[in-house]
Chain A
Amino acid sequence: MRTTILLKIAFLSLSRNKLRTFLTMLGIIIGVAAVITMMAVGTGARLSVEAAISSLGTNVINVYPGSRNLSGARQEAGTASRFTEAEADAIYAESPAVRYITPVVRSMAQFKFGNRNWRTRVHGVYAEYLFIRDWGLAQGAAYGPSEERGGAKVCILGSTVAAGLFEEGVDPIGKTIRINNLPFRVIGVLESKGQSSFGQDQDDIVLAPFSTVQKKMLGTTYVESLFASAISEEAIPEASAQIESILRRRLRIAANQESDFNIRTQTEITEAATSTSRTLALLLSSIAGISLLVGGIGIMNIMLVSVTERTREIGIRLALGARGRDIRLQFLVEAVAISLLGGILGISLGVGASQFLASAQGWAVEVSTASILMAFGFSFATGVFFGWYPAGKASRLNPIDALRFE
C-alpha cells in the first residue's frame, strides 16, 4: 500500500476519536515538552558557566605552593612557598607545552589620586598575564620587558579601580597615582570582564610589573604562585606534567615524597562545573525516559483497544486481499502518527515554555537542535516500540473470525 494512503487512513481513524487521540498523546506531549524545556534551561546554565570559566583565561594552569608540615602541625596552604622567579623562567625555558608563564605576587594596597582613594590588591605579574587571561586593554598600553627589568613604577588599572579613582571625563592614562605612598604612573586601563562565576568583581584589580611589586612593595624574593597557560587545550595535561617534573627537580623533592605544591588546571575547574550539569542531564534523561515509557504504554493500550474495535474492518481488509504485513503497517503507522504528533506538539510546547522562561523570568535558556532531534527520534521510536505488539496482534487475525466479529 502506498505511504500516502497509509497516512491518510491513519489520520482519518485518529481524527474519528479526537479526544481519545489527544488524551493518548498527552503523555508524550508532557514528557517531550518537559524534556525540551529542562534541556534548554540546563544547556543555558552550562553555557553561562562555561562563559564564566573561559573568562578566567585560556588553557590556564595555576601552580600554588602547598602547606608545610611544621613539627606535625599542618600549616595553611601557601605557607611553604619555595618558588622564586627562577622557577617561572625555568619552566618557560624547559616546558614546550607551556606557552606563557608569569610569577605572581600580590599585595593589599591603598590607592590615592587627588582626594579620592581606593583599596584593593595589586598583582605583580609579567605583562604575559594579559595573554594568559586573554585580557585586552580598553585604553593605553601594557608595560614591556624593560619596565619589568627596571622595576618601573607603572601600573594598569582594572575598570572598577579606574572608575573609583578618577572622576568621569578624566583620562587616567599618564596620571600619577600613589600606591601605598609610592608614585605609580597609570599606563593602561583593562577591559571590563564583569563578575566571575563566584560573584567576584574581576575588574577590581591593579597590575604592576612583577619586580616592582616583589622588590619595591613587598621586599621578598619568593613568589606567591605561578600562573601559566598551555599551548592548547589538549596540551593542558602535558604542560601540567612538565611543570610538575621541572618543579620537583628544582625543589629537590625525592621520588618517594609528595609534591609540596598544587597544580590546578582549567580542565579540572571545567570538570568540576560540568559534573554538576552532567548530574542534571542524567536526572533529565531519566525523567524523559519515564515519561516516554508512560506515554508509550498509553499508546499501546489505546492501540489494543483500537485493534479490538476494528476487528471487523481488519476482516474486511483481509478478505479484500490485504496481507498480514499490510495490516501491521497500517496500525504501526497509526501508533507512530500518535507518538510523532505528540512529540511535535511537545516540542512546540517546550520551545514556547523555554522562551517564556527566557523573556518573563530572564533565565538563560538555549534550545538546542540536538534536543529537538532527540525528542523527535525518541517519540518516533516510542511509537514503533509500543505500536509493534498491537499491530502484530492485528496482523495475525484470522480473516473468518475477524469478519464474524460483532
Chain B
Amino acid sequence: MDSIVSVRNLTKIYQMGEVTLKALRGVDLDIQRGEFVAVSGPSGSGKSTLMNILGCLDAPTEGSYRLDGKEVQSLKPDDLAEVRNRKLGFVFQSFNLLSRTSALENVELPLLYRKDVPAAKIRERAVQALQSVGLADRMHHHPNQLSGGQQQRVAVARSLVNDPVIILADEPTGNLDTRTSLEIMTLFQNLNAQGITLVLVTHEPDIAAFTGRQVVVRDGSIVSDTLNPHPHSAQTELTQFLTDIGET
C-alpha cells in the first residue's frame, strides 16, 4: 500500500507538574497518497497534538510514525527541520505570513532554507506557486494589503512551493467568511484533484463534507474513520452562494 502517513500506537503524554495529561492514547492511522482527509473533534480531543506530531513539530511519547516510507519519530531536531522543509506543507488558521514581507518573499521562504535550489530557481518556483493559487497579480503586495482569503492563498502557495508529499491545514477556514472559505476549499479540492495529499483539521461539519474521508478524534483516540464517497463540490456551493446573495 502506498501510505504517505502510517502511524501506529501513537501516544503523547504531557506532564504538567503533578498532573499527567494523556493527549493521545495509542492512535493508529494510515493516509494514502492522494487522499483528502478531514480530522475533526472537540477542543481538547487531541487533534491538535496529532497534527503537531504529523507535522513533525512535536515528537510522540510512544509509538511509531512513518512519513513517506521513512521513520521520523526518533529524528534529531535538525533532521526534523529538513523533513518539515522537504516533505510537509503547512497552512494555519491565522495564515502565519511574515508581515512587511511581500507575498512573493513569503512564498520563497521555505526554499531559502535548502541549499540545493539556485537563487534564480527560487524566484521562478515561487512565482509558479502563486500563479497556481491565482495570485500572480498580487505578488508584490504585503500581507496587510491583502484580504484574509488572499493571505490564506499566499499561505497555500507557500505550502506548495517545495512540492511536499502532504499538506497539513489546521483550521484553514477558521478566520474566513463563508465566501472565502468556499474559495479556499475549492482551491484545496483542485489541488487534491491534481493528486496532492491533504489533511485538514476542522470542527465544522460543512467543511469536513468537502473531503473524501472523515476522521473523528475524541479523548485522545480515533472514534470514527469513515470514507465519504461523494464529497460536496466547493465550486458548486460557491456558485450557489454567489447566486443566493445576488452576485454572479
Instruction: List residues of A whose CB falls within 8 A of some B CB.
Output: 1-2, 5, 12, 16, 312-313, 315-326, 399-400, 403
- B66 interface residue (CB < 8 Å to A): no
| B109 and A323 within 8 A (CB) | no
Do A400 and B81 contact each other (CB < 8 Å), given the known contacts A16-B100, A326-B113?
no
Q: Which 6 A-B pairs have the closest CB atoms?
A: A321-B85, A323-B81, A321-B113, A320-B110, A399-B57, A323-B78
A-B contact pairs, 9 of them (CB 8 A): A313-B98, A318-B57, A320-B109, A321-B84, A323-B77, A323-B81, A399-B57, A403-B57, A403-B92
| A316 and B96 within 8 A (CB) | yes
- B28 interface residue (CB < 8 Å to A): no
Do A320 and B90 contact each other (CB < 8 Å), given the known contacts A12-B100, A313-B98, A399-B57?
yes
How many chain B residues touch A (CB < 8 A): the figure is 26
CA distance A119 to B27 in the complex (A): 113
Which of A322, A399, A403 is B113 in contact with, Cβ under 8 Å? Answer: A322
Dominant secondary structure of chain A at its interface with chain B: helix
A321: nearest residue on chain B (CB-CB)? B85
- Complex contacts, B78 vs chain A, CB 8 Å: 323-325
- B177 interface residue (CB < 8 Å to A): no
- Complex contacts, B109 vs chain A, CB 8 Å: 316-317, 320
CA distance A319 to B119 in the complex (A): 21
- B21 interface residue (CB < 8 Å to A): no
Q: A397 CB to closest chain B CB, in angstroms?
A: 11
A406: nearest residue on chain B (CB-CB)? B94
- Complex contacts, A319 vs chain B, CB 8 Å: 55, 57, 84, 90, 96
CA distance A313 to B96 in the complex (A): 8
- Complex contacts, A325 vs chain B, CB 8 Å: 78
| A400 and B98 within 8 A (CB) | no
- B125 interface residue (CB < 8 Å to A): no
Contacts between chains A and B (CB distance < 8 A), count: 60
B119: nearest residue on chain A (CB-CB)? A2
Q: B161 CB to closest chain A CB, in angstroms?
A: 10
Q: A159 CB to closest chain B CB, in angstroms?
A: 71
- Complex contacts, B52 vs chain A, CB 8 Å: 400
- Complex contacts, B81 vs chain A, CB 8 Å: 318, 321-324
CA distance A323 to B58 in the complex (A): 14
Q: A387 CB to closest chain B CB, in angstroms?
A: 21
Q: How does the 8 Å CB contact mask read for B184-221 relative to A, with 1 for contact and 0 for none?
A: 00000000000000000000000000000000000000
- Complex contacts, A400 vs chain B, CB 8 Å: 52, 57-58
CA distance A316 to B84 in the complex (A): 11
Q: B166 CB to closest chain A CB, in angstroms?
A: 14
Q: Residue among A1, A312, A319, A325 with the most chain B CB within 10 A?
A: A319
- Complex contacts, A5 vs chain B, CB 8 Å: 112
Q: A285 CB to closest chain B CB, in angstroms?
A: 41
Docked complex: B2-58 residues within 8 A CB-CB of A? 52, 55, 57-58
Q: A351 CB to closest chain B CB, in angstroms?
A: 35
- Complex contacts, B153 vs chain A, CB 8 Å: none
Do A321 and B98 contact each other (CB < 8 Å), given the known contacts A400-B52, A400-B57, A403-B92?
no
A1: nearest residue on chain B (CB-CB)? B112
CA distance A302 to B141 in the complex (A): 29
| A321 and B100 within 8 A (CB) | no
Which of B86, B98, B112, B119 is A316 in contact with, Cβ under 8 Å? Answer: B98
